Amino acid sequence: DTEVTQTPKHLVMGMTNKKSLKCEQHMGHRAMYWYKQKAKKPPELMFVYSYEKLSINESVPSRFSPECPNSSLLNLHLHALQPEDSALYLCASSRTGSEKLFFGSGTQLSVL
Amino acid sequence: GESVGLHLPTLSVQEGDNSIINCAYSNSASDYFIWYKQESGKGPQFIIDIRSNMDKRQGQRVTVLLNKTVKHLSLQIAATQPGDSAVYFCAENTKTSYDKVIFGPGTSLSVIP
A41-54, pLDDT tens digit by residue?
A: 999 999 999 999 99
From CA A53, how far away is CA B33, in angstroms rounded? 25
Question: How many residue pairs from chains A and B have C-beta atoms closer than 8 A?
Answer: 57
* Residue B20 Cα to chain centre, angstroms: 9
Q: Which of A92, A82, A87 is nearest to A108 (CA)?
A: A87
- Residues 6+ positions from A99 with CB-CB distance below 8 Å: none
| pLDDT above 80 for A11 | yes
Mean pLDDT rounded to a whole number for chain A = 94
- Residues 6+ positions from B60 with CB-CB distance below 8 Å: none
What average pLDDT does range B67-75 have in this prediction? Answer: 95
Instruction: Kindly tell me the burial class for residue B68, based on how many C-beta atoms sit within 10 Å of its own C-beta (0-12, 13-18, 19 or more).
Output: middle
Selected residue of B101, B107, B108 to mutate for chain A interface (largest A Cβ count, 10 A): B101
Query: Which among A31, A42, A98 has the least Cβ separation from residue B105?
Result: A42
Answer whether B43 sits within 8 Å of A98, measured CB to CB: no
Three-state DSSP at A22 gives: strand
**Identity (one letter) of the amino acid at B104?**
G
